[in-house]
């Protein structure tokens, strides 16, 4: 199909944000085409007995009919299971804490939307992410959304330039309250009062229950191990390293007479190191699979900061490139709970310069000593 500049593909989840995007773009003169990705069926998303499709598909289809727009459903459940859910389980089995939304955007959702945009003749792709875009020196950058409580720039650092150049984020300059008010004003009062979606779309309850359900032999493969202190002394037994994450304090089920936090996870030995909050602090961090927009700008940026988890405060920092797409990061302010598997996302003010995955930190002290003068 011939591509049309004013024909835009919208990823429709059936929720508040994507519904508002459809309305806004239609008002701006775009020919809107909606695609709903059926990625994972969660029981709570089926409101009535015998319902064959989840609520989000039915709601998106209903909105499309009301607006008179073309709508498609992409059943990608098996591919989602093989790519995203497999990654999620494998990361916990490696003793890491995964970032499924970070991987899902470039490797799955936006990629599939690009394929559908080509198939339906759409030049642009729009989503309900709360962020903005800006062009600088030939590159397209993600910029934080105006609503700090909903900003989703952290999750999008892996999106390549080829996809970013096709993206539209209509909600970047709005707050969630603005979006709800807009929908109500346009006659979609029920939609405006809708609830929020889950942070991880395929987990209905606790991730540990999910691991047991989809990896039924997890307890046989890992089994109980030892809680240890920073000197390696055994403190008591735990249920298996995959059930813990760095910085965790609640649910440890061990009494030490004082608050204890997970400091390190060693999957090879099936040990979980515990300690106090002071021991969680770090001056350096090692990251891998680094994906900068412009590497030279990232290395030279005088006001560089990094977020080491979603909604965490930006921490001033410096970076030094290592081999194999790794970087050594030096924090210039207090940082705590460096969690392998999570994302480290770099900012110049509100502009995303790139990111990487937090690596295991075993060699970070040696590297810090080796490159201390450079960073």
Name the active-site residue from 101, 201, 301, 317: 201
153 is in an annotated binding site: no
17 is in an annotated binding site: yes
The residues, ordered by sequence, that sit 6+ positions from 250 with a Cβ below 8 Å of its Cβ are none
47 is in an annotated binding site: no
12 is in an annotated binding site: yes
121 is in an annotated binding site: no
Phi, psi of 368 (to 5 degrees): -60, -40
Which ranges of 100-202 would DSSP assign to H, the alpha helix? 100-104, 110-120, 161-164, 176-185, 189-192
201 catalytic? Reply is yes
50 is in an annotated binding site: no
14 is in an annotated binding site: yes
273 is in an annotated binding site: no
363 is in an annotated binding site: no
For β-strands 70-75 and 31-38, DSSP reports them as parallel
SS3 274: strand
Please answer whether residues 108 and 80 qualify as being in contact, where contact means their C-beta atoms are separated by less than 8 angstroms.
yes
Task: Give the CA distances from residue 137 to residues 122, 141, 221, 298, in Å, rounded to whole numbers and listed in that order.
Answer: 26, 10, 51, 13
215 catalytic? Reply is no
Cβ count within 10 A of residue 312: 15
Name the active-site residue from 22, 101, 104, 122: 104
Q: Which helix (H) or strand (E) holds 6?
A: strand 4-11
240 is in an annotated binding site: no
Instruction: List residues forming the annotated binding site for ATP.
Output: 11-18, 37, 128
Active-site positions?
Answer: 104, 201
Annotated binding site: 11-18, 37, 128
């Amino acid at each position: 199909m011939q591509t049309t500049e004013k024909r835009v593909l919208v990823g429709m989840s059936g929720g508040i944000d994507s519904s508002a995007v459809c309305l806004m773009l239609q008002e701006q003169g775009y020919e809107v085409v909606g695609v709903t990705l059926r990625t994972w069926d969660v029981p709570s998303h089926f409101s009535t007995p015998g319902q064959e499709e989840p609520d989000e598909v039915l709601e998106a289809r209903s909105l499309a009919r009301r607006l008179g727009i073309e709508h498609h459903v992409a059943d990608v459940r098996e591919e989602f299971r093989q790519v995203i859910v497999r990654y999620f389980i494998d990361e916990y089995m490696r003793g890491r804490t995964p970032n499924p939304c970070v991987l899902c955007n470039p490797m799955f959702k936006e990629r599939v939307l690009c394929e559908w945009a080509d198939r339906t003749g759409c030049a642009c792709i729009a989503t309900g992410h709360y962020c903005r875009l800006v062009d600088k020196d030939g590159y397209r950058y993600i910029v934080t959304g105006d609503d700090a409580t909903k900003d989703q720039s952290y999750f999008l650092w892996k999106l390549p330039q080829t996809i970013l150049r096709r993206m539209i984020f209509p909600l970047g300059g709005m707050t969630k309250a603005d979006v709800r008010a807009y929908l109500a004003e346009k006659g979609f009062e029920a939609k405006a009062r809708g609830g929020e979606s889950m942070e991880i779309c395929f987990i209905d309850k606790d991730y540990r229950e999910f691991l047991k359900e989809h990896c039924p032999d997890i307890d046989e493969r890992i089994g109980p191990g030892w809680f240890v202190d920073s000197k390696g002394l055994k403190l008591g037994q735990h249920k298996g390293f995959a059930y813990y994450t760095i910085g965790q304090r609640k649910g440890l089920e061990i009494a030490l007479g004082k608050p204890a936090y997970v400091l390190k996870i060693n999957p090879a030995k099936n040990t979980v190191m515990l300690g106090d909050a002071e021991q969680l602090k770090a001056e350096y961090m090692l990251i891998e699979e680094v994906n900068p927009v412009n590497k030279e700008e990232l290395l030279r940026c005088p006001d560089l900061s990094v977020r080491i988890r979603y909604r965490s405060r930006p921490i001033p920092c410096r970076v030094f490139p290592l081999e194999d797409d790794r970087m050594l990061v030096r924090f210039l302010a207090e940082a705590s709970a460096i969690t392998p598997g999570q994302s480290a996302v770099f900012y110049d003010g509100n502009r995303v310069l790139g990111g990487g995955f937090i690596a295991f930190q075993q060699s970070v002290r040696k590297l810090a000593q080796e490159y201390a003068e450079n960073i």
